[in-house]
A and B are shown apart, each in its own frame.
Chain A
Amino acid sequence: MPSGKMLRTGILCAVLAATSLSCGETQPTEPNPVSDITAVRGNEQFLNSPQQETRELLIDGRVTDIEWAITGDASVIRMHNEGGERGGTYYLSVRSLWTVDRFNAPDGILFLLQWPDPTQNLLHMPLVTSADVVADNGDTLIDCTTGNTDLVNPAKWTINRNIQEDEVLIELYSTQSGGYPKDLWRWGAETTDPANPVNGTEFGAAAGDSSGSLEHPGGAFMEDFFDNGSGPVRDSGSWAYMLANHDSTNYVPLKLASKNPREVRFNRGKPIPFVIWNSVSKDFGPCEIFNPIRVDNPTEPDKTWNPGDYQPSFRTILPTGSQADVVAKGGWNMGKWGLEIRRNLIATLPDTTINGVEVHGGPRPDDVQLVPGGHYAVRFTIVDGTTKARSVSDLIPIYLRP
């Protein structure tokens, strides 16, 4: 005879089974996509043809298989919307490798970021005018020779904060668990991406504007921050867009795109709708009746200022010092962004000469230094200029596989 205890136990088991009985899957049966990043070893210079020609890994925004195939399958990282909004999620593809130079010494780390974006946004908060120099019937409405200064009247200029550039932030932590210090690199489609050196041959008077053009002629520079746990601080040096193109009191442009007297091309060849290259810009005054963007557009018959015309909010320069550590260039094609990034594994100070003796620069104190075999962590943030949505990734481990 079963005891009462056994009976009660049996009833209890039956009740428990009844509340949990099912026959479907309770654990995932498929593996997740690989989202951890493994940077493989590569050569900064490699052979790429039967003729034994060498080429470098170029940071030029043009993603070619020969450069990136060595990394293998890309990591797939889910970008998710920040701030509790629904949607706004997509996949970011990340490839990475670290390189050695011709002497087999550790050299640089490279990232390739690719993500879908139906529209490219290359303008950031432009300065917009309501001035109209010439009416549709040909009458001159603003004539500076009569003392009319409407063109530089602060009431005629506003800033359109609704237009924003596409933007990427990369946080590189010094430990796998996301420990500080960390580097923070920022890329902006207008604010940093056009800041690549110009061709010294094409622009004879370019002077400092061609600095670095022999290494990565297409590569611009990301804005660089350092964070030891108390908040990000800009690295030393000037950054690419540090010059606001308006006074703090109004939104009248200070400068317009122009050219040096010895050149035939505007703006060092930079795209005038998005860039004012500072070293060749000119002052904006009441008699600057021509809009450089219209001047550079052969399909536009009216070259003067019209209501709704704009100028960039920033002037661009080549960065200096530690702000020139991270080389990057983005390219948008067929609804996808591709962003190539490179930085030296050990970002160093420039060499100096002390008492006639050349002294190699040591590691920069405001950069996270990377070592092959090391484990670090990275977090990506992408801001879509169209939706203004800020999508972030989780903290992604990265391993520099020796």
Chain B
Amino acid sequence: MTTPRIVSIPEYAMSSLTRSARTLLVASAILVLPATAGMVQAQVLDAWLNGTPVEPFTGNGSARLKAMGGIEVAIPDDQSRLDPYGYSNNPAGLRESRDSSYVEVPITYQGHDATDYNFANSAILHGAGVRGEFRPGGKWAMAASFDYANVDASRHDQMPSPDDARFIRDFDLPVAPELSPVTTDRTFGAGIQSPTISAIYAREFLEGLTLGARIGYRTESENRRLLIPYDLNVTSERTEIQGGAMYRPHVLNSEMTLSGWGQYAKANVTGVGESPLNEDEFDWDRPEVAYGAAIHYKNMSWLEGIVDGRHRSFDGEEVARINWAPQFFMNPLPGVADPDNVFKKHWSAFLSGLRHNEVSTRWLVGLPGRPVHLGVRWAYYRQFEWIRANEVVIPTVNELDVKREGYNFAGGLSVDLPNKQGVLGAEMQLAREFRQDFTYQIPDIDRMNSTFNIGGEYRLKPALPLRAGVQLIRLDPNRTDASAPVKGTALTLGLGYFWNALQWRIDASYQHYHYNSAPDDPADEIGFGDQGYLFIQRAF
């Protein structure tokens, strides 16, 4: 999996939850689908999209499955693969992941609005990308991708708040120092641009042993909007270097692979506060190490499954470099223009860290002799994240000391229609997370979200499938409170077109969802959104 956000959802889950499921995960959701293998993890976007179903990558997942009610595991799909490359993001898996070369262009629009306790929060993402996978022979393969996302997001920053600061509690980016106490709720937002590039190479060096490498780079620049005198904007850079190996032992008819990978990411987040009277830099370096392993089994006739385990961690420090002119409003020294009154210092602003461990598995069973597929996925994760501010300087971050522990399940059934006329499927998705706050600012939270997804595909003509689906949404932001779960519905529609002569494939999907709380719920929560995906693929 490529794109773990430093939030609460397991990375594996990112790969499998579609936006519908993530609609459930109003608290935090990350999706990493096979199509995103090779993507570089977002840092700034993660924070701004946390708590929304908007994905920080363009074209995550399969537009086909999204159109079928957001089913994720019950229907086999080329964009939702279980192999070490698609599921585990192991670059060594690229060579065997598919058998052709492809050029793909995903385009997406995702808009989300939510209101609870009269706090309105929103996120809109426009994204597009281009990806290529080249497999000129059986010995080696390479892939490259470019992705661009533009996000406009806003949220409320009151903490504590009646909704347990749902949209700000895990906002782990530098924030502007405050001279006056923040006693009222405020809305602040940002526009973020984020281009990403990556390249992957995999080659079989010995019989049964494939080695692969990936390098990726992502930069994010944020233009923050908050009506306070101190203007702080954040940029980030992240360079990932990953190496992997995949071995196919001569057992089980060579239908099993063992794979492992390791990754180093040079990651930093830089806050810059600039005005004619100040020039400040908050440099947060947090190099990250990650590694994982997977066992994949694929019986061509009826069974495919993978068991994946992974770890990722970082320690980091933010160093503040402050340069305030005498006239700057935060400078405690006199405002008279005198070099002695310049407040120029640097210090360690905070220490941070993350430990994330996760194990997951997914299986897809095609019942022999029956047009029936059974899919199931389960994952368990445990994560610690902390940001501890230096107590002798003005804080430039919301402190965090949190443990997140949860599991994720999806299971369902699909039936192929006769004469390859299409497929029908039904699936249950469930995500649960326990959040324990050691700063004691926010009570412990037990979140459970679930959807029941029904969808199908019908081929009007062999090259023209129509797709539709529905989701029944049930969100419980905190099971320990007295409020009833929030309920809603999503409607999905889609269309595909296959131009076999030139091996073109086009998939489009649209989804609208809406949910609201029970009439007597004091949160008076309403959420809705639209998501559209366009996926163009050319096979060679």
Contact = CB atoms under 8 A, between A and B. Distances in A.
Interface stretch (A14-22, A51-59, A185-193): A14-22
Nearest to B267: A24
B353 A26 contact: yes
A22 B334 contact: no
Given A28-B317, A31-B347, A91-B332, A334 B327 contact: yes
A18 B359 CA distance: 14
Contact of A118 (B179, B285, B287, B348): B179
A114 B335 CA distance: 11
Contacts of B329: 116, 118, 335
Contacts of A283: none
Looking at B319, B343, B347, B392, the one whose CB has the most chain A CB atoms below 10 A away is B392
Contacts of B291: 18
A20 B313 contact: yes
A152 B393 CA distance: 52
Contacts of A149: none
A78 B289 contact: no
A115 to B, nearest CB: 5
Interface stretch (B180-188, B246-254, B464-472): B180-188
A87 B183 CA distance: 8
B315 A32 contact: no
A125 interface: no
A116 B330 contact: yes
B315 A22 contact: yes
A29 interface: yes
Nearest to B158: A86
Given A24-B315, A26-B351, A33 B393 contact: yes
Nearest to A82: B181
A85 B394 contact: no
Given A29-B348, A65-B340, A81 B179 contact: no
A335 B319 contact: no
Contacts of A63: 334
A22 B314 contact: yes
A90 B353 contact: no
B347 A32 contact: yes
Interface string A106-130: 0000000011101000000000000
B390 interface: yes
A335 B330 CA distance: 9
Contact of B332 (A85, A114, A387): A114
Interface in A323-378: 333-336, 338
Contact of A25 (B183, B316, B336, B347): B316
Interface in A20-65: 20-33, 35, 63, 65
B347 A22 contact: no
A291 interface: no
Interface in A169-206: none
A92 interface: yes
Nearest to A35: B392
B315 A387 contact: no
A27 B180 CA distance: 30
B395 interface: yes
Contact of A387 (B180, B316, B353): B180
Contacts of B335: 333-336
B333 interface: yes
B159 interface: yes
- Which of A18, A78, A86 has the most chain B CB within a 10 Å cutoff? A86
A335 B348 CA distance: 27
A308 interface: no
B357 interface: yes
A310 B127 CA distance: 61
A167 interface: no
B332 A336 contact: yes
A255 B159 CA distance: 47
Contacts of B391: 78, 394
A265 B345 CA distance: 48
Interface in A65-102: 65, 69, 74, 76, 78, 81, 85-93
A239 to B, nearest CB: 28
A204 B535 CA distance: 92
B479 interface: no
A386 B319 CA distance: 32
A24 B285 contact: yes
Given A19-B311, A22-B315, A90-B394, A85 B182 contact: yes
16 contacts: A22-B287, A23-B287, A24-B288, A24-B316, A28-B348, A30-B319, A32-B393, A74-B333, A78-B394, A89-B179, A91-B330, A91-B332, A93-B333, A116-B330, A336-B331, A389-B180
Interface of B: 159, 177-183, 264, 285-289, 291, 311, 313-317, 319, 327, 329-336, 338, 340, 343, 345-348, 351, 353, 355, 357, 390-395
Given A20-B355, A35-B392, 19 more contacts: A20-B313, A21-B289, A23-B314, A24-B286, A24-B317, A26-B351, A29-B319, A30-B346, A30-B348, A32-B347, A32-B392, A32-B393, A33-B345, A33-B393, A85-B182, A89-B395, A91-B332, A116-B179, A336-B331
The 7 A-B residue pairs whose C-beta atoms are closest, nearest first, are: A334-B335, A87-B178, A88-B181, A28-B348, A24-B315, A25-B317, A93-B332
